[in-house]
Chains A and B, each alone.
Chain A
Amino acid sequence: MEEKKIINVKNLSVSFSNNIVINDIDFHLSRKESLVIIGKSGSGKSVLLRCLMGLLKPDHGSIEIDGINIVNANRIDKENALKNIGVTFQNGALFDSLTVWENITFKETKFFGFNKQKAKEKALLIIKNLELDENILELYPSELSGGMQKRVAIARAICDNPKVLFFDEPTSGLDPITGKIINNLIEKTVIKLGVSAITITHDISSIENLASRIILLDNHKIAWSGKPNDMKISKNKIVKQFLVNT
């Protein structure tokens, strides 16, 4: 039986001023699958994620999200396809001028006419699931610790019940203990919501926690792809080198 693909990337290439960043790569994300993309700095991970988020137009290739090719779709189709995605950025990217509950329910208050009370209730429900205290609802992002900011960013990403979650370096800038907590939370959240996820990371503990499949990027191409257990026994030189370096 064929896997149900929620994201399907074909022949994707991206370059900046003749510098190739991603060179003709193909991969897919199945429903309820948690894909982790790894690779050393400059291998094209972040550029790939920006393409998947619709923030960057590739030179060639297609990116199908839920059957819609966002590369050449019209604006409305592209926006509709991207509504299925929730993103947690590396630095959280929370809106400085909004409180925690306003950040979390940004989309709901704007598009679904949530009033203040309803929005706060929804935000409260989500942050409790993410093991955050309800007292932080009225705080601004600058008043939160790094770990809390990451959790609020996750709360914002899942608030609108997306089908796919993207996590860009979810543990970067965190101490190992907080990093572990965030990894566990992401793992629990992805399973609980039954969503698909793509995580970009350098962190080996993120790979162990989150991956049901791994893609290793090297030299702007997919150098290796497989299950987490296969990675440890892989004879691939680039995989071995990555494991040694991390």
Chain B
Amino acid sequence: MLKIINLLGKVSLSTIENIGKLTLFIFKSFFWLFKTPFYSKQFLFQLLDVAFYSLPVVGLTTFFSGMVLALQTFSGFDNFNDESTISKIVLTSILRELGPVLAGLMVCGRVGAKMAAEIATMRVSNQIDALQTLSTRPIQFLISTRLLASIIAVPFLVLIGNIIGVFGGFVVATFKLDLNPILYMMSTIDNFNLIDLIQGLVKALVFGIIIAIISCYFGYNASGGAEGVGRATTISVVTASTLILTSTYFITALFI
């Protein structure tokens, strides 16, 4: 019995300690974002990596999601052949949920894993210590630049992903389901709701923060050589993906 209480105590203390460490890490990452010097080269490099190099995977995912949505709506509604209904379901689903969540998960898998592995490798090979001895604040140089890049890039990717996803739905609706392309497009424009777009972009912003902070946090606190790098990478992707999927519910609830 005493052992169980002891274990519970240890787990609770460790959880509280980790929450405290993470909170402090988040605070420092944002704090150094607004302090000089601003590492523009490092920031632009990260922005290019997150935004540009993630574009193919995000584009492909959202394109096929739009296509699947159009097809499923058509078959789900018992071959209901209506441009307005299909376009509305595709548009709303992509803008509100699928665009941001899919883009978030893709960026998390591609960029989040890379951030965690890079920073963890730097940690276990003393490169972070070396940065500090070269009069550079590691959090400002490594984390804040990645955070800002992620905050800007993920909403941008979601915006592009939304357009590609809606286009995917249009392709299936017109070429496979033989719907009228003009009517489908007109109906898509009519059904466009700015709030849906804003909801998706707010989610993207939050996902951008989650991906950068979680990946960098686990990378920054990695220890134990190659195994530690692997552990940090895995745990960061799992945690960030889980947080993306749970936070999307709460953000949706805020808008409804």
- Chain A residues near B (Cβ < 8 Å): 50, 53-55, 79, 82-83, 85-87, 89-91, 93-96, 106-107, 110-111, 156
Contacts and interface: CB of A to CB of B under 8 A. Distances in A.
Contact of A110 (B121, B130, B136): B136
A232 to B, nearest CB: 33
Contacts of B39: 110
B195 to A, nearest CB: 42
B76 interface: no
Contact of A93 (B127, B135, B136): B127
Contacts of A89: 126, 129-130
B129 A79 contact: no
A107 B126 contact: no
A39 B145 CA distance: 41
Contacts, number: 47
A53 B134 contact: no
Contacts of B132: 53-55
23 contacts: A50-B129, A53-B132, A55-B129, A79-B135, A82-B133, A82-B135, A83-B135, A87-B133, A89-B126, A89-B129, A91-B126, A93-B126, A93-B127, A95-B127, A96-B122, A106-B134, A107-B134, A107-B135, A107-B136, A110-B37, A110-B39, A110-B136, A111-B135
A94 B127 CA distance: 6
B37 A85 contact: no
B125 interface: yes
Contacts of A54: 132
A111 B39 CA distance: 11
Interface of B: 37, 39, 121-122, 125-127, 129-130, 132-136
A183 B150 CA distance: 45
Given A54-B132, A86-B133, 20 more contacts: A53-B129, A53-B132, A53-B133, A79-B135, A83-B135, A87-B133, A89-B126, A89-B130, A91-B125, A91-B126, A93-B129, A94-B130, A95-B122, A95-B127, A95-B130, A96-B122, A107-B134, A107-B135, A110-B136, A111-B135
A89 B148 CA distance: 30
Contacts of A107: 134-136
Contacts of B134: 106-107, 156
Contacts of A110: 37, 39, 136
Nearest to A162: B133
A148 B37 CA distance: 32
Nearest to A111: B135
B113 to A, nearest CB: 17
B27 to A, nearest CB: 15
A89 B123 CA distance: 13
Contacts of A91: 125-126
Q: Give 10 nearest A-B pairs by CB, closest first.
A: A93-B126, A93-B130, A87-B133, A89-B126, A107-B134, A93-B127, A106-B134, A55-B129, A83-B135, A53-B133
B127 A96 contact: yes
Interface centre among A83, A87, A93, A94 (most CB of B within 10 A): A93
B236 to A, nearest CB: 19
B229 to A, nearest CB: 13
Contacts of A111: 37, 135
A171 B39 CA distance: 34
Nearest to A86: B133
Nearest to B45: A97
A85 B134 CA distance: 9
A225 to B, nearest CB: 26
A107 B136 CA distance: 8
A94 B130 CA distance: 8
Nearest to A153: B130
Contacts of B127: 93-96
A50 B127 CA distance: 14
Nearest to A95: B127
Contacts of A83: 135
